[in-house]
Chain A
Amino acid sequence: MTRFQQLIAVNEARRSRRRRVVNAAMLSLTGLLTLMALVPLFWIIGYVIYRGAPVLNVNFFTQLARPVGMHGGGVLFAIEGTVVLAVLACLFAIPPGVLAAFYAARNPNTPLGIALRFSTDVLAGVPSIVMGLFIYGLVVVPMKHFSGFAGGLALSILMLPTIIRTTEEMLKLVPHTLREGSLGLGAPEWKTNLSVAFPAAFDGIITGFLLAIARATGETAPLLFTALGNERFDIGAIIQGGIQAHQSLFSIIGRIVNQPIDSLPLTLWTYAMQPYQERIDQSWGVALVLMILVLLIEIAARLWIEARKRALQG
Chain B
Amino acid sequence: MKNISISKRNTWQERLNRFTRHGDIPWSLLIGAMAILTLVVVIAIAWMLWTQSADARAKIGWDFFRPTLDATWNPAKDIYQAWPFIYGTLITSLVAIVLAVPISLGIAVFLAELCPERLRLPLNWMIEMLAAIPSVVYGLWGIFVFLPAVVTPVGEFLSHLSVLPGFTGTLFTGPISEDGTSRLAAGLILTIMVIPTITAISRDVLLAIPNSQREAAMGLGSTRWEMIWQVLLPYGLSGILGAVILGLGRALGETMAVTMVMGNANEATGSLLKAGYTMASLLALQFKEAVTPLHTEAMIELGFTLFAITLILNLFARFLVWQVARRTPQEARA
Give chain A's interface residues, CB within 8 Å of chain B: 19-20, 22-23, 26-27, 29-34, 36-38, 40-41, 43-45, 47-48, 51, 95-97, 99-100, 102-104, 106, 112-113, 115-116, 118-123, 125-134, 136-138, 157, 160, 164, 188-191, 193, 214-215, 217-221, 224-225, 228, 265, 268-269, 272-273, 283-284, 287, 290-291, 294-295, 298-299, 302, 306
> Which residues of chain B have C-beta atoms less than 8 A from A22's C-beta?
223, 225
In the complex, the answer to whether A294 meets B225 with C-beta atoms within 8 Å is no
Q: A123-B38, A137-B48 are in contact. Are A287 and B136 (CB under 8 A)?
A: yes
The one of B107, B133, B287 in contact with A291, judged by C-beta atoms closer than 8 angstroms, is B133
B252 to chain A, nearest CB (A): 7
* Bound CA span A292–B35, Å: 35
> Which residues of chain A have C-beta atoms less than 8 A from B30's C-beta?
99
What 14 additional pairs, Cβ within 8 angstroms, besides A40-B130, A100-B38, A221-B280? A30-B106, A36-B103, A41-B133, A104-B35, A112-B32, A112-B36, A131-B45, A134-B48, A138-B44, A191-B23, A218-B135, A220-B135, A284-B140, A291-B133
A232 to chain B, nearest CB (A): 18
B231 to chain A, nearest CB (A): 14
B99-131: which residues lie under 8 A (CB-CB) from chain A?
A: 102-103, 106-107, 109-111, 114-115, 121, 123, 125-130
Is there a chain A Cβ closer than 8 Å to B137's Cβ? yes
In the complex, the answer to whether B134 meets A119 with C-beta atoms within 8 Å is no
B289 to chain A, nearest CB (A): 10
B195 to chain A, nearest CB (A): 6
* Bound CA span A219–B137, Å: 10
Which of B72-80, B176-184, B311-319 is the interface stretch? B311-319
In the complex, the answer to whether A31 meets B114 with C-beta atoms within 8 Å is yes
In the complex, the answer to whether B39 meets A119 with C-beta atoms within 8 Å is yes
> Which residues of chain B have C-beta atoms less than 8 A from A193's C-beta?
27
If over half of B's interface residues share one DSSP class (helix, strand or loop), that class is named, otherwise mixed; here it is: helix
In the complex, the answer to whether B35 meets A265 with C-beta atoms within 8 Å is no
> Which residues of chain B have C-beta atoms less than 8 A from A121's C-beta?
314, 318
Which 6 A-B pairs give the minimum distances between C-beta atoms? A127-B253, A218-B134, A190-B27, A33-B106, A188-B22, A23-B223
List, sorted by A's number, 16 A–B pairs whose CB atoms are closer than 8 Å: A23-B226, A27-B224, A34-B110, A34-B111, A40-B192, A41-B129, A41-B133, A44-B141, A96-B37, A119-B39, A130-B306, A133-B303, A138-B44, A269-B256, A291-B133, A306-B121
* Bound CA span A136–B48, Å: 10
In the complex, the answer to whether B126 meets A96 with C-beta atoms within 8 Å is no
In the complex, the answer to whether A34 meets B123 with C-beta atoms within 8 Å is yes
Q: A133-B287, A190-B24 are in contact. Are A31 and B110 (CB under 8 A)?
A: yes
Residue of A nearest to B40 (CB): A119
Is there a chain A Cβ closer than 8 Å to B31's Cβ? yes
In the complex, the answer to whether B225 meets A214 with C-beta atoms within 8 Å is no
* Bound CA span A287–B141, Å: 9
Interface residue tally of chain B, by bracket? 35 or more
B227 to chain A, nearest CB (A): 9
Q: A34-B111, A225-B287, A291-B137 are in contact. Are A125 and B249 (CB under 8 A)?
A: yes
Give chain B's interface residues, CB within 8 Å of chain A: 21-24, 26-28, 30-32, 34-39, 41-42, 44-45, 48-49, 52, 102-103, 106-107, 109-111, 114-115, 121, 123, 125-130, 132-141, 143-145, 192, 195, 199, 223-226, 228-229, 246, 249, 252-256, 260, 280, 283-284, 287-288, 300, 303, 306-307, 310-311, 313-314, 318
* Bound CA span A36–B36, Å: 44
The one of B31, B106, B134 in contact with A29, judged by C-beta atoms closer than 8 angstroms, is B106
> Which residues of chain A have C-beta atoms less than 8 A from B144's C-beta?
51
In the complex, the answer to whether A19 meets B223 with C-beta atoms within 8 Å is yes
Residue of A nearest to B37 (CB): A96
> Which residues of chain B have C-beta atoms less than 8 A from A221's C-beta?
135, 255-256, 280, 284
The one of B107, B111, B284, B310 in contact with A125, judged by C-beta atoms closer than 8 angstroms, is B310
> Which residues of chain B have C-beta atoms less than 8 A from A188's C-beta?
21-24, 27
> Which residues of chain A have C-beta atoms less than 8 A from B249's C-beta?
125
In the complex, the answer to whether A103 meets B34 with C-beta atoms within 8 Å is yes
In the complex, the answer to whether B141 meets A47 with C-beta atoms within 8 Å is yes
In the complex, the answer to whether A30 meets B109 with C-beta atoms within 8 Å is yes
* Bound CA span A164–B38, Å: 10
In the complex, the answer to whether A125 meets B311 with C-beta atoms within 8 Å is yes
In the complex, the answer to whether B307 meets A126 with C-beta atoms within 8 Å is yes
B39 to chain A, nearest CB (A): 5
> Which residues of chain A have C-beta atoms less than 8 A from B38's C-beta?
96, 100, 116, 119-120, 123, 160, 164
In the complex, the answer to whether A130 meets B134 with C-beta atoms within 8 Å is no
Residue of A nearest to B314 (CB): A125
The one of A129, A137, A273, A306 in contact with B255, judged by C-beta atoms closer than 8 angstroms, is A129
* Bound CA span A245–B229, Å: 73
Q: A31-B114, A298-B129 are in contact. Are A37 and B195 (CB under 8 A)?
A: yes
Residue of B nearest to A29 (CB): B106
> Which residues of chain A have C-beta atoms less than 8 A from B27's C-beta?
188-190, 193
> Which residues of chain B have C-beta atoms less than 8 A from A136's C-beta?
287
* Bound CA span A290–B133, Å: 9
A181 to chain B, nearest CB (A): 17
* Bound CA span A299–B132, Å: 10
In the complex, the answer to whether B287 meets A224 with C-beta atoms within 8 Å is yes
* Bound CA span A164–B36, Å: 13
In the complex, the answer to whether A113 meets B284 with C-beta atoms within 8 Å is no
The one of A44, A126, A129 in contact with B137, judged by C-beta atoms closer than 8 angstroms, is A44
> Which residues of chain A have C-beta atoms less than 8 A from B313's C-beta?
125
B221 to chain A, nearest CB (A): 10
* Bound CA span A299–B86, Å: 37
> Which residues of chain A have C-beta atoms less than 8 A from B314's C-beta?
121-122, 125
* Bound CA span A136–B121, Å: 41
> Which residues of chain B have C-beta atoms less than 8 A from A106's C-beta?
31
In the complex, the answer to whether A218 meets B111 with C-beta atoms within 8 Å is no
